[in-house]
Amino acid sequence: MDSGNVEHVVEVTADSLFEAAAAAVKAFREGALVDELPVPGTELRITVLPLPVEHRVRLQRVEQWAQTGTVKSPVEKLRRERVRGLLGLKDESVN
């Protein structure tokens, strides 16, 4: 919800919670209908379909996950790279 009490919604397809958050942020940044862009403290509400499961995560946490931490598998490395790309973050090596 923005400062004008307007809730903005976007539908994305993703393989993980953080990828969904990053894809939503990218859509908001590229869209012309949102006056206030997400900042690190912005809480993102993610609903997984077809069974409605809702998650809440702050953008700051998504950015931290994408840029830091130990990578446990090649799949996780690809997911982090995809999230960094969606958010337009510098592609830094993740261990």
Query: How far is Cα 23 from Cα 83, in angstroms, rounded to an integer?
Result: 8
Q: In the 3-class helix/strand/coil scheme, how is 54-77 assigned residue by residue?
A: EEEEEHHHHHHHHHCCCCCCHHHH
Decide if 8 is inside a domain: no
Domain of 63 in residue numbering reads as 17-87
Decide if 7 is inside a domain: no
Decide if 2 is inside a domain: no
Decide if 68 is inside a domain: yes
Q: Count structural domains, the chain.
A: 1
Decide if 9 is inside a domain: no
Decide if 77 is inside a domain: yes
Q: pLDDT by residue for the chain (95 residues), tens digit each? A: 677 777 778 889 999 999 999 999 999 888 877 777 888 888 888 988 888 888 999 999 999 999 987 888 999 999 999 999 999 998 765 45
